[in-house]
Chain A
Amino acid sequence: MFKRILIIFINRNREFYRDKSGFGWNILFPFFVIVGFSLIFSQDSRKEYKVGVINSGNIRNEISVQYEEFRKTKFVEFIEFESRETGINRLLHHRIDLLIEPSEGRYWKSSSSPKSFMTEKLLISSSEKIKTGFVPETVTGREIPYVEWLFPGVLAMNMMFSALFGVGYSVVRDRKNGVLKRFSVTPLTPFEFLTAQILSRMFVILLTTGTVYLACILIYGFENRGSYLSLLIIFMLGSFSMVSLALIIASRSSSEEFAGGILNLLSWPMMLLSEVWFSMEGARPWVIKFAKLLPLSHITSGIRQIMNDGASLYDIRSQILALSVMSIIFLSAGSVLFRWQKTD
């Protein structure tokens, strides 16, 4: 039995690394995301609001003071336009949040845009000396840069795509082509085949995730505040749960189009709701509850807590428990549903 598992395991790994495009993509995609976001979200370039400026010469004195103050506002990007018409057009299409014409002392806002509303408040307050009862304080301790917060999410997301498409898609393709039919008349059992698929993909995921992790640590100096053993365990459990989920999709279908649709249907909500890109803080309760049903949420938060906060395995026991239960359910369902041949 172990020999047959090993044979299929080796074959799948060969298929993976000899498929140069797939292999490269698995390594490069998460790396590109990190590089891209580190550029986009570096502090100097992180501009939340965009203000269009027209006719900025010959500004009256009383306007000039306020305009100069406004231009010093953090997180606001100023874009010059040659004509009022162009600026208004950009505002109407939400390409900018506010349009000002300092020489005339006028500005235009979009009544339907929340960002336009906020930018207007920034403009109005830029010349006011506000006295309030509030006392400003600064948070102490090491702030986690956005890219470092994002990094665990990108690793988890790559894990998800690699598992879902790497296993789900390839098993469906092999069923469609008749590769599985040929295996079905050998002594290879479904259990041996599925075990080999799981082990092979886990190996691939750990290899690629480890490579991306090392590259980012070396280039960006990201810090892992927790233990590497904890990180390895959550990586393994996360990839196991995702591969198990993929096996459900791969269990019967022989249509790559259908499988592709289902894989997208699963991966997109997970990508959007599992805090890969942004926090779900303040989202509606039912959305948060729904997100808890997604394995990617637990993988992301587990990795993030270990890397960002130095959490131990005990600290992330709820994620470990959730992922374990999900893995068992997915794997059981995938095994029961699995067929060597086309059923549709």
Chain B
Amino acid sequence: MEPVLEIRNLRKSFPGVKAVDGISFSIEAGTCFGLLGPNGAGKTTTIEIIEGILNEDSGTILYKGENRGKRFKAEAGIQFQSTRLPEYLTVFETLKTYRGLYPGKTDIDWIIEVCRLEEILNRDNRKISGGQKQRLLLAIALTNNPELIILDEPTTGLDPQARRHLWEIVTGIKNSGKTIILTTHYMEEAERLCDKIAIMDYGKIIDIDTPNSLLMKYGKGATIYIRTEDPEKYRNILSCQYFIVENGIEFRTDFLNLCIQQLAASEADLTGMTVRTPNLEDVFLKLTGHTLRA
């Protein structure tokens, strides 16, 4: 099956920095593809090149096997990281404005319902909350019945509740069979929404795979956390890597059973002990050597 979007050896430099350094990937129809990386990794530059906002220095971008043109503009639904909208328009007028610019159109009532805009339709688009604005921007990205939806950090700056709200909407859109590209620096977002993830850092893609495969590949082992006011007392019990953390101590190990046995055999108090398996955050840390929000 032909990918909806194919990127080959894409490069883009700005003075003094290689923002995108020879990346390649392809996106299958009906999937959600995540570009994951910290600020400055090159995610937005990649997305803006795909959108046509920036010109690439070299490389190839194919939409449905062809160079992007009028068809791409008509069939792509785009949500920027931050966008100001034309002033003095209500939410409904804003939606109608953008919808009117495209040849293909989504049923406006469906968009309003999916993005939960009913209550703010007649409100000035400058007088809505951050979460409402992100939902409106997502709704605008859906007005042309897009085949490909590009969401650039759609939940950045939102409170946890608004973020989860938006995730539910994106999941619904994904379930309707749309192809989505999503950039984020929230691991939980990538794990929940994406079928495939490309981990980016310093303009390069470090690895691309499904979240599960990435965890299988790089997420072996476990983390044992013991809450204690005296971490020094615990550090010699196990012979694995340890970190003194806030209010306790953490051990990283690939031999969980052995460690548990050693801890049980010791007379240490294990009341505050928790065991955690690795998540994508740990995978990212392992692959790049620094945290996502560094």
Segment touching A, from B6-14, B81-89, B253-261: B81-89
CB of B78 closer than 8 Å to a CB of A: yes
Compute how far the CA of A14 lies from the CA of B88 in the bound complex, rounded to whole angstroms.
7
Residue of A nearest to B140 (CB): A182
CB of B56 closer than 8 Å to a CB of A: no
CB of B117 closer than 8 Å to a CB of A: no
| Chain A hits for B100, CB < 8 A | 3-4, 7
Task: Tell me the residues in window 4-28 of chain A with beta carbons closer than 8 Å to chain B beta carbons.
Answer: 4, 7, 11, 14-15, 18-19
| Chain A hits for B82, CB < 8 A | 178
Residue of A nearest to B93 (CB): A14
CB of B53 closer than 8 Å to a CB of A: yes
Contact B85 A179 (CB under 8 A): yes
CB of A174 closer than 8 Å to a CB of B: yes
Majority-rule SS of B interface residues:
loop
Compute how far the CA of A177 lies from the CA of B85 in the bound complex, rounded to whole angstroms.
8
A16 to chain B, nearest CB (A): 8
Task: Tell me the residues in window 10-60 of chain B with beta carbons closer than 8 Å to chain A beta carbons.
Answer: 51-53
CB of A272 closer than 8 Å to a CB of B: no
Contact B101 A341 (CB under 8 A): no
Segment touching B, from A43-51, A183-191, A201-209: A183-191
B92 to chain A, nearest CB (A): 12
Compute how far the CA of A242 lies from the CA of B150 in the bound complex, rounded to whole angstroms.
39
Give the number of chain B interface residues (Cβ < 8 Å): 25
CB of B272 closer than 8 Å to a CB of A: no
| Chain B hits for A115, CB < 8 A | none
Contact B53 A181 (CB under 8 A): yes
Contact B51 A186 (CB under 8 A): no
Majority-rule SS of A interface residues:
helix
| Chain A hits for B80, CB < 8 A | 178, 181-182
Interface magnitude class on chain A: 20 to 34
Compute how far the CA of A7 lies from the CA of B88 in the bound complex, rounded to whole angstroms.
14
Q: How many A-B residue pairs have CB under 8 A?
A: 60
Contact A188 B88 (CB under 8 A): no
| Chain A hits for B97, CB < 8 A | 7, 11
Contact B78 A15 (CB under 8 A): no
Contact A11 B89 (CB under 8 A): yes
| Chain B hits for A185, CB < 8 A | 51-53, 73, 76, 78
Interface centre among A14, A174, A178, A186 (most CB of B within 10 A): A186
Residue of B nearest to A184 (CB): B53
Contact B101 A18 (CB under 8 A): no
Contact A177 B89 (CB under 8 A): no
CB of B98 closer than 8 Å to a CB of A: yes
Contact A182 B83 (CB under 8 A): yes
Compute how far the CA of A342 lies from the CA of B101 in the bound complex, rounded to whole angstroms.
22
Name the one of B83, B88, B103 contacting A15, with C-beta atoms under 8 angstroms: B88
Given contacts A3-B100, A11-B97, A186-B101, contact A179 B86 (CB under 8 A): yes
Compute how far the CA of A117 lies from the CA of B4 in the bound complex, rounded to whole angstroms.
86
CB of B186 closer than 8 Å to a CB of A: no
| Chain B hits for A177, CB < 8 A | 84
Compute how far the CA of A15 lies from the CA of B78 in the bound complex, rounded to whole angstroms.
24
Contact A15 B86 (CB under 8 A): yes
Compute how far the CA of A3 lies from the CA of B97 in the bound complex, rounded to whole angstroms.
11
| Chain B hits for A4, CB < 8 A | 100-101
Contact B86 A186 (CB under 8 A): no
| Chain A hits for B76, CB < 8 A | 185
Compute how far the CA of A181 lies from the CA of B86 in the bound complex, rounded to whole angstroms.
11
CB of B167 closer than 8 Å to a CB of A: no
CB of B217 closer than 8 Å to a CB of A: no
Cβ contacts B86-110/A at 8 Å (1 or 0 each)? 1111000100011011110000000
| Chain A hits for B83, CB < 8 A | 178-179, 181-182
Compute how far the CA of A179 lies from the CA of B125 in the bound complex, rounded to whole angstroms.
13
Contact A188 B101 (CB under 8 A): yes
Compute how far the CA of A19 lies from the CA of B84 in the bound complex, rounded to whole angstroms.
17
Compute how far the CA of A4 lies from the CA of B144 in the bound complex, rounded to whole angstroms.
14
CB of B70 closer than 8 Å to a CB of A: yes
| Chain A hits for B114, CB < 8 A | none
Contact A11 B86 (CB under 8 A): yes
Compute how far the CA of A115 lies from the CA of B126 in the bound complex, rounded to whole angstroms.
56
| Chain A hits for B101, CB < 8 A | 4, 7, 183, 186-188
CB of B120 closer than 8 Å to a CB of A: no
Contact A18 B88 (CB under 8 A): yes
B99 to chain A, nearest CB (A): 9
CB of B74 closer than 8 Å to a CB of A: yes
Contact B53 A15 (CB under 8 A): no
Contact B70 A174 (CB under 8 A): no
| Chain B hits for A179, CB < 8 A | 83-86
Residue of A nearest to B101 (CB): A186
| Chain B hits for A14, CB < 8 A | 88-89, 93
A-B contact pairs, 17 of them (CB 8 A): A7-B97, A11-B89, A11-B97, A15-B86, A18-B88, A178-B82, A178-B83, A179-B85, A182-B83, A185-B51, A185-B52, A185-B76, A186-B98, A186-B144, A187-B70, A187-B101, A188-B101
Interface residues in chain B, defined as those with a beta carbon under 8 Å from any beta carbon in chain A: 51-53, 70, 73-74, 76, 78, 80, 82-89, 93, 97-98, 100-103, 144
Extra A-B contacts (17), CB below 8 Å, given A178-B82, A183-B101, A185-B51: A3-B100, A4-B101, A11-B89, A14-B88, A15-B86, A15-B87, A19-B87, A179-B86, A181-B83, A182-B80, A185-B76, A186-B98, A186-B144, A187-B73, A187-B74, A187-B102, A187-B103
